[in-house]
A and B are shown apart, each in its own frame.
Chain A
Amino acid sequence: MEVIDLAWWKLALAALLIVALAGVSLYARLGVTRSLLVAAARTGIQLALIGLVLEALFASAELYWIALLSLVMLLVAGREVMARQKRRLYGVWAFGVGTGAMFVSSFAVTILALTVIIGPSPWYTPQYAIPLLGMMLGNTMTGVALSLDRLNDSVWSQRAVIENRLMLGQSWREAMEGIRVEAMRSGMMPLINAMAAAGIVSLPGMMTGQILAGSPPAVAVKYQILVMLLITVGTGFGTLMAVSWGSRRLFDDRERLRLDRLIKTEH
């Protein structure tokens, strides 16, 4: 089956619809016009650029270029996690906790999937490695950002309870037990819901794309299941690490709650 290539001018037709939507929202004073147009422009430009980068990368297929692109993706995701928290840790920790957790979980799961499950040769073949890592990072980023935001926010609003529990001789882990459960849950819930609804309510984007590009649905479905499971594992371990490192950092070596290590992010 031949894939129908899309001409650029046909994309412009879709873009015109966005402009129409922006026009309506401007007319109705809905206040989203500007961010809608900026976001649509960013999608177009960013994806066009990454398309060029991937073309070049696929042509060279050198490990160090793939490693470099992976590093850039990780750093951008780390910055995004930091920006999405209402309150975040002071200094390098805000970046370090989230980025570290995403690095360990996303990279470990991606490499495991490439070497053991999918098995392209060489294992870092960019057609497999980059899209897989991208999906891992994208989802882990959301989970880590949601859980850290919830963690820091709950600690801030429940500081008196945490301190009272410490006064009664509880360890910092005991004093944090309810908050850690909540933070973990808010990081994991979107994916658990997505897995439950997959195929019935929603056709996941990756599978849809693969089918549009001409893969037989049976193959596309297997890849989608693999990706869903891997994403959940990666997000789960990433969230777990972020929550436990992040909450440890909120206490010092004498198990005192150190809210001076949290700062409010300006928006």
Chain B
Amino acid sequence: MTDLRLEEVSVGSLENVGLDVGAGEVVCLSGPSGSGKSRLLRAVADLEPHQGRVFLGDTEQASVPAHHWRKQVMLVPADSQWWFDEVGAHFPEACRQQVPEALGFAPEVMHWTISRLSSGERQRLALWRALALEPSALLLDEPTANLDHDLSLAVEEWLLAEIRTRQMPVLWVAHDRAQIQRVADRHLHIVGNTLEPIHGSD
């Protein structure tokens, strides 16, 4: 069982954030735009200079090479990037044949060119690209921002099932209250420079 632990992490306006996300637990983060949600995720992925310590189980962030850390603690940004011509080239060899059904693609999608993908299609494929690399923890930045309601539900359900089977700790940035209700085990809201827990249905 690996948990994701933040100890006195400071980045941008956020100060001394302490947080323990258990294996298979989804912690939702919300807050006004510009409050530092994305920067906090970037700090946890070690993409941004920050203070404090982050642990995955017994492994401390600073004790392993940065690219090993990021392979384990994987950040999926709200706006994914694609640099090869074909979709399939972005995936590890073993995952080029299948796409999870819940994402709503035919397997041929792996041969599509990137330019024909809509923003919603890119977002769904970016989630699959990240999970195909088998990370130990996930940092999701508004993973359904470009999807319509029905697809959002399907993607959420698929993500939750994967999270439970793989027992990954997950930090999930969201602003839709209904979605937070559906997916979160805990909900933290950014107020000023700290995270405040929000309970129940408020």
Q: Which residues of A contact B (CB under 8 A)?
A: 158, 160-161, 163-172, 178, 252, 254-257
Asked, given contacts A254-B66, A255-B66, A256-B66, whether A167 binds B74 with beta carbons under 8 Å apart, the answer is yes
Contacting pair A168 B66 (CB below 8 A): no
Inter-chain CA distance A257–B68, complex, in Å, is 16
Q: How far is the CB of B11 from chain A (nearest CB, A)?
A: 12
- Residues in chain A near residue B80, CB distance under 8 A: 164
A selection of 12 A-B contacts at a CB cut-off of 8 Å is: A160-B81, A161-B83, A164-B80, A164-B81, A167-B75, A168-B70, A168-B133, A169-B74, A172-B67, A254-B62, A256-B66, A257-B47
Q: Looking across the interface, which residue of chain A has its beta carbon closest to that of B70?
A: A169
- CA–CA, A178 and B83, complex, Å: 9
Interface size bracket, B side: 20 to 34
A163 pairs with B47, CB closer than 8 A: yes
Residues of A within 8 A of B170 (CB): none
Q: Are B77 and A167 in contact (CB under 8 A)?
A: yes
CA distance in complex: A158, B133 (Å): 23
Is the pair A171, B67 in contact by a Cβ cutoff of 8 Å? yes
Q: Is B96 an interface residue (CB 8 A)?
A: no
Asked, given contacts A169-B70, A170-B67, A255-B66, whether A164 binds B77 with beta carbons under 8 Å apart, the answer is: yes
Are B47 and A169 interface neighbours, CB within 8 A?
A: no
Partner of B45, one of A167, A252, A257: A167
Q: Which of B57-98 contact A (CB under 8 A)?
A: 62, 65-68, 70-72, 74-77, 79-81, 83
Residues of B within 8 A of A171 (CB): 65, 67
Which residues 114-152 of B sit at the A interface, judged by CB distance below 8 A? 129-130, 133, 135
Q: Which listed residue, B65, B68, B81, B130, touches A161 by the CB 8 Å rule?
A: B81
In the complex where A256-B49, A256-B66 touch, is A165 in contact with B83 (Cβ < 8 A)? Answer: yes
Report chain A residues within 8 Å CB of B83.
158, 161, 165, 178
A161 to B82, CA, bound (A): 7
- The smallest beta-carbon distance between A123 and chain B, in angstroms, is 46
Across the interface, name the chain A residue whose C-beta is closest to B71: A169
Complex Cα gap A169–B134 (Å)? 11
Instruction: Say if the beta carbon of B196 comes within 8 Å of chain A.
Output: no
Chain B residues with Cβ below 8 Å from A168 are 70-71, 74, 129-130, 133
A-B CB contacts (within 8 Å), total count? 56
**CB distance A254 to B76 under 8 Å?**
no
| B79 surroundings in chain A (CB, below 8 A) | 160
B15 contacts chain A at the CB level, 8 A cutoff: no
Q: How far is the CA of A166 from the CA of B46 in the complex (A)?
A: 10
**Which chain B residues lie closer than 8 Å to A161 at the CB level?**
81, 83
Tell which of B65, B66, B129, B135 has the most Cβ of chain A within 10 Å.
B66
Indicate if B48 sits at the interface (CB-CB under 8 A).
yes
Residue from A160, A166, A168, A257 having most chain B Cβ neighbours under 10 A: A168
Closest to B80 in A: A164
Give CA–CA (A167, B135) in the complex, Å. Answer: 11
Q: Which residues of B contact A254 (CB under 8 A)?
A: 46, 49, 62, 66
Give the interface centre of B67, B72, B77 by most chain A CB atoms within 10 Å: B67
Assess whether A167 is in contact with B67, with CB atoms less than 8 Å apart.
Answer: no
Contacts of B68 in A (CB 8 A): 169
B46 in complex: contacting residue of A158, A178, A256, CB < 8 Å: A256
Q: Report chain A residues within 8 Å CB of B70.
A: 166-169
Q: How far is the CA of A256 from the CA of B69 in the complex (A)?
A: 12
Bound CA–CA A31/B42 (angstroms): 49
Most buried by B among A158, A165, A254, A257: A254
Q: How far is the CB of A165 from chain B (nearest CB, A)?
A: 7
**Cα distance A52–B124 in the bound complex, in angstroms:** 70
Q: What is the CA–CA distance of A252 and B48 in the complex, to the nearest angstrom?
A: 10
Measured between alpha carbons, how far is A254 from B60 in the docked complex, in Å?
13
Cβ of B8 to closest chain A Cβ, rounded Å: 18
CA distance A172 to B46 in the complex (A): 13
Does the CB pair B47–A167 fall under 8 Å?
A: yes
Q: How far is the CA of A128 from the CA of B45 in the complex (A)?
A: 56
CA distance A45 to B48 in the complex (A): 51
A172 / chain B contacts, CB cutoff of 8 Å: 67
User: For residue A252, which residues in chain B have a CB less than 8 angstroms away from its CB?
Assistant: 49
CA distance A163 to B41 in the complex (A): 13
